[in-house]
Amino acid sequence: MKLFIALTIHPYRRQTFPYLKTYFSKSGTSREAFNSDAIFVTTMDAAALVVLPMSWNFYLKNNQSKLIEEVIKKAHSLGKKVISFTTGDYGVEIPDYNNVIVLRASGNESKLPNSHWGLPAFIEDPLLKIYGTATPSIQPYSQKPTIGFCGMANTSVLYAFEELGRIVRRNLKYYLGFSKNLPQALIPTTYRRAQILQGFRKNDAMNDYFIFRKKYQAGAKTDSEKKETTLAFYNNIKHTQYLLCFRGAGNFSVRLYETLAMGRIPIFVNTDCILPLSDKVDWKKHMVWVEYKDRHKIVEKVLEFHQQFDENTFKNLQEQNRLLWEEKLTLEGFFNNLLIDEL
């Protein structure tokens, strides 16, 4: 795959096109990359694909819309596709160009054009980082499923209204022209998580292992505190079978990828999310899939899903979920699938 980098790579790693991070350091100098067929060319007409090296958030914030429009127009005249991405919890408004692909983790799938594709939340391998092994432990099958969760969840109705108030204020900033962050659905996510978890806890047909946090990472500030809360988070996944994966401030779940990387089974509440490689991955085979409107039936859906397994098939699903993350949802796996097969 011959790639042409259309503009300057700036030293803002969070805003740099993820694939380029493996090839270029913070200073823009070349670095050793993973095994890939990518070749970087110096002219657009020699490329199979044109890459916008920074996020749409970066270009819009720095008033560079005209600059990227020139790149897109030139690529169109040469019959080339442009690949780009948007970052952050909310995403920004992007015109629908017929030769531009936008990768994104957030957004409402039903409201997005077909040129917007799902992007995983790329995480460091937790098995290697935390436990020093690339082989997941296997949770044995049991009659009662064990549900895990470690994170922000709050049962206070007052807190739910506070959440909604924050969303309304953010949305108003967008509609009044003071923010480029796209508006979000009025879902009090921390409260909804707590509601769902309480439903699991009240059911005698399942076991629970929940750690409720009032702040992100339990408010950890020092390195030792962050290390402790991270270990508690992944131990919660390790010692359970199923993990609740419900959107945060943005319409996506990082926990989904953390759960798969640990070889566990997500309970995914779909709030019109855009998932990566949806034409290659039969997502519903890897998780308990619950539409947001059906969240009140989530306990029944988990039990129905769990009852289809025996010891061997339950073990196989955990192994397949880890393999899915390794082969398609890591940075290397995702882009090798995307660039080689899709484009």
Cα(first)–Cα(last) distance of the chain, in Å? Answer: 9
CA distance 162 to 107: 23
pLDDT band at 147 (very low <50, low <70, confident <90, very high): very high
pLDDT band of residue 223 (cuts 50, 70, 90) is confident
Sheet containing 288-291, strands listed edge to edge, beginning at the edge strand earlier in sequence: 207-213, 146-152, 242-245, 265-270, 288-291
Residue 31 has pLDDT above 60, yes or no: no
Contact 129, 144 (CB under 8 A): no
**290 confidence band (pLDDT: 50, 70, 90):** very high
Closest CA to 83 of 283, 94, 10, 333: 94
Q: What's the confidence (pLDDT) of residue 28?
A: 55
Give the model's pLDDT for residue 39: 86
Separation between Cα atoms, residue 250 and residue 184, nearest integer Å: 7
**Which phi and psi (to 5°) does residue 105 adopt?**
-90, -35
Half-sphere exposure in the Cβ direction for 28 (13 Å, CA):
9
Q: What is the pLDDT of residue 335?
A: 92
Do residues 260 and 321 lie in contact, with contact meaning Cβ atoms separated by under 8 Å? yes
Residue 255's pLDDT is 97
Once rounded to an integer, what is the mean pLDDT over residues 189-212? Answer: 94
Do 304 and 290 touch, CB atoms closer than 8 A?
no
CA 231-292-333 angle, to 5 degrees, is 50
- pLDDT tens digit sequence for 91-137: 898 999 999 999 999 999 999 999 999 999 999 999 999 999 999 99
3-class secondary-structure state, position 111: helix
**pTM higher than 0.85:** yes
